[in-house]
Amino acid sequence: MRKFAVALALTASACSYQSPTQPAASAAATAANEPFSLTLGSSVGSGTTADHATITAKVQGPTGQPLGGVVVTFSTTVGALNPEQAATDSNGIGSTTLVASTAATVTAKAGTLSARTGVGTQPAAQPPPTPTPTPGPGPNPGATPTGPLTVTLTAADVIVGSTTILNASIKDGVPPFQVTWTFGDGASFTGSSSSSAHLYAAAGTYPASVSVTDAAGRRADANATINVLAAAPAPAPAPQVPAYTITLTATPSTVVVNTTGVTLSANVNQQFGAPPATSFTWDCGNGATFTTATATQACPGPYPTIGSATAKVTATGGSVTGSGTTTVTVTLPPVPDITVNCTLQAAPPANTISCNISATLSGKAVVDTDITSVDWHWGDSTPTTTTHTNVAPPHTYSAAGIFLVVANNVVVTGTTAKGSNSTSISVH
């Protein structure tokens, strides 16, 4: 006796259902011919037709009756559908054919309803070469039942609003199968797939069943209880405890090292019934601390370390406290930019020059009276001359030549850094 392998192609089907008990879609509020339930199934070919699948959509009314003449629109993520729209027959069934070389997701829409299913299409097998004619085989042993047809129905518990997947395990059946699903909430569907997807509109316990009829005309039934659980309640809000949120600012926010201080100001935001703050503890960030009843504090200088200092305030009102911080930037003192100007006197004595300097600080011109000390180096053997203005006394050279005049250790008001510069002059 020759043995034949029987292959069963199983794909997932899906259905979308709206409970008749919901006010928005109740039987009383819904017209008898308005789609109320849309269930989707699929049947995939094998071998040379493995890239073909029949997609069926069943449309039912609010009392579970099939609705004919409803236009169902199909779409797919892969491949092609023919037709893309189909009207349901008197059994509420509309169908289309999918051709796709890979697995696809097919969506069906009827009115305001929508359902989706995965379809396990794959490349079609190449037909074998035409064999040499041989005598026809005898009866197909595969069509002969090998044992009693049995079916087992399983489904996992889900949270309301999530899709329930029902699976029918069919044993010792002769394909193809007719599979009828009853979901326990008034919806049902007949197709050929061994799995189905269903969306329950409300939490509860639903008696689902499946009835399988095989090609030999045998029937087997199975039941299962579907538990649709209510969604977990939202977490309780955090308790509202009286508190302060504090914004602290420093004016100015940048100071030169070892010079001035800053003024700190606290903006206190009272939250959840917090009382007004009555006490403020200040840390200036340079070692100075104060406790006051006001939201402003002058912090004296200097700030001795270059970089950044963190100032802090803690506000207290009864049992409520809150803190805020800010950063004080501490920089090097700016260095004055010096320009040296020298000219050769036309009047005697000969070889005599007159010099002065000008300065800028942080890009701004320094007035002459703010230049308070200059060391003058004349480029010859004479000693350094120190002046306390920006003008040097006339200097006479003993011989002609080119000399480098240097203004060094220049002190200007507004910085502790000293400047310097030079110029060359020809004496003849």
pLDDT tens for 166-177 read 999 999 989 999
Mean pLDDT for the stretch of residues 18-27: 38
Residue 300 burial class via C-beta count within 10 angstroms: exposed 0-12, middle 13-18, buried 19 and up: exposed
User: Taking 70 as the threshold, does the pLDDT of residue 133 lie above it?
Assistant: no
The proportion of the chain whose per-residue pLDDT surpasses 70, expressed as a percent, equals 88
The answer to whether the peptide bond before residue 207 is cis (omega within 30 degrees of 0) is no
Q: What is the model's pLDDT at position 405?
A: 97
Q: What is the model's pLDDT at position 22?
A: 37
Q: What is the model's pLDDT at position 314?
A: 98
Residue 214's pLDDT band (cuts 50, 70, 90): very high
Q: What is the model's pLDDT at position 5?
A: 25
Residue 131: partners with Cβ closer than 8 Å, 6 or more residues away: none
Q: What is the model's pLDDT at position 129?
A: 63
User: Taking 60 as the threshold, does the pLDDT of residue 256 lie above it?
Assistant: yes
Between 130 and 208, name the one with better pLDDT: 208
Residue 184: partners with Cβ closer than 8 Å, 6 or more residues away: 206, 207, 208, 209, 226
Q: What is the model's pLDDT at position 27?
A: 39
Q: What is the model's pLDDT at position 31?
A: 65
Q: What is the model's pLDDT at position 14?
A: 36
Q: What is the model's pLDDT at position 127?
A: 63
Q: What is the model's pLDDT at position 144?
A: 67
Residue 132's pLDDT band (cuts 50, 70, 90): low
User: Taking 50 as the threshold, does the pLDDT of residue 10 lie above it?
Assistant: no
pLDDT tens for 384-402 read 999 999 999 999 999 999 9
pLDDT tens for 327-341 read 999 999 999 999 999
pLDDT tens for 265-289 read 999 999 999 999 999 999 999 999 9
Q: What is the model's pLDDT at position 352?
A: 93
Indicate the average pLDDT of the chain. Answer: 87
Mean pLDDT for the stretch of residues 188-193: 91
User: Taking 90 as the threshold, does the pLDDT of residue 134 lie above it?
Assistant: no
User: Taking 90 as the threshold, does the pLDDT of residue 32 lie above it?
Assistant: no
| CA distances (Å), origin 188, targets 27, 38, 63, 163, 180 | 17, 10, 11, 15, 7
| CA distances (Å), origin 267, targets 5, 189, 321 | 83, 67, 14
Mean pLDDT for the stretch of residues 66-91: 91
CB 208 within 8 A of CB 183: yes
